[in-house]
Each structure stands twice: as C-alpha cells, then as structure tokens.
Amino acid sequence: MIRIGVISDTHGMLRPQALAALAGCDHIIHGGDIGGQDILDQLAALAPLTAVRGNNDGAPWAAAVPHSAQVQLGGLTLHVVHDIATLAIDPVAAGVDVVIYGHSHKPLAEQRAGVLYLNPGSAGPRRFKLPVSVAELVLDQGPPQARIIELAV
C-alpha cells in the first residue's frame, strides 16, 4: 500500500494541521500556488515531493517548478496541473489513472471515464466559506482511493 498526501493552494501558509495530516505519507504532491521555497522544503522533509507551479508562483524561486508533472507510483500514472482548465492531455488516451489539480480551492474527488480527478482544496488561507483541506490518496490493489481531509483550523 502506498499513501500519498495531496495538498494545494498553500499560498505561503503551511498549517501545523496540514503537516500532521501529511505525516507518514510515502509521497506528497503539491498542486500549485505554493507561495515560497520554504513550503517545498518543509514538505520534502516529510516525504519525496512532486510539485507544480500555480498562477501565483511567479517569484524567482518558482522558476525550477514545472507547470505540470507526471509521476508513476504504485504502478499507476498520476498527472498534476494547477488549473484543470490548463490540462493539455487527454488523460484516458495518455493512460493516466489520476489527475491532481488545485486552483479552485474546492475539494473534489470524482471518477470520470475511469480516471480519478482529485482536488484537495486549499490548505492555506481560507477563501470565502470553503473548507481548509488536504487529501489522501491510497494506492493498493484495485482502483486508487481518495478522501478529503478537512482541517480543524
């Protein structure tokens, strides 16, 4: 079993509750709008990290962060972008099992045409009345299982 922590839209704020929820993960994915290299450093100290750049990540530190990433974990292919509207591939045709994204701050986990679409929501500053959340993706035998974890803030 592989446990992947999924976080997005930290906007420079990495809450202790988010760190606690991600503790013990085998891999962490950040879906963009990171807010600073220090966020990446703290997450990378917990587990191997895959991160993409968000529309607010324009400072020089973000130049090395890609706009999209693809990673193989547990025999599955995960594709990561910040804004789902910029998804430049057909996940089904590309053999992608999970699409991970952020940007909207709205947590969502749903299957579409055999592909799991996962938005962990925002773990940074609260936006409107949306929850502050991260997600957990478990890869084991069978299809990937996702759950949204609302943080008590």
Does the pTM surpass 0.95? The reply is yes
Question: What pLDDT is attached to residue 142?
Answer: 85
Return the beta strands (E) in 18-144 as ranges: 27-30, 49-51, 68-73, 76-81, 98-100, 108-112, 115-119, 133-139
Question: What pLDDT is attached to residue 141?
Answer: 85
Number of separate domains in the chain: 1
Question: What pLDDT is attached to residue 34?
Answer: 98
Question: What pLDDT is attached to residue 134?
Answer: 98
CA distance 41 to 112: 33
CATH number, domain with residue 29: 3.60.21.10
Express the helix, strand and coil content of the chain in percent, nearest 5 each: 15, 35, 50
Range of the domain at 54: 2-150
Q: What is the mean pLDDT of each run of 10 residues along the chain (153 residues)?
A: 97 97 98 98 98 97 97 96 97 97 97 97 92 96 94 90
Taking each continuous run of H as one helix and of E as one strand, the counts in the chain are 2, 10
Report residue 39 as tokens: 């966020």
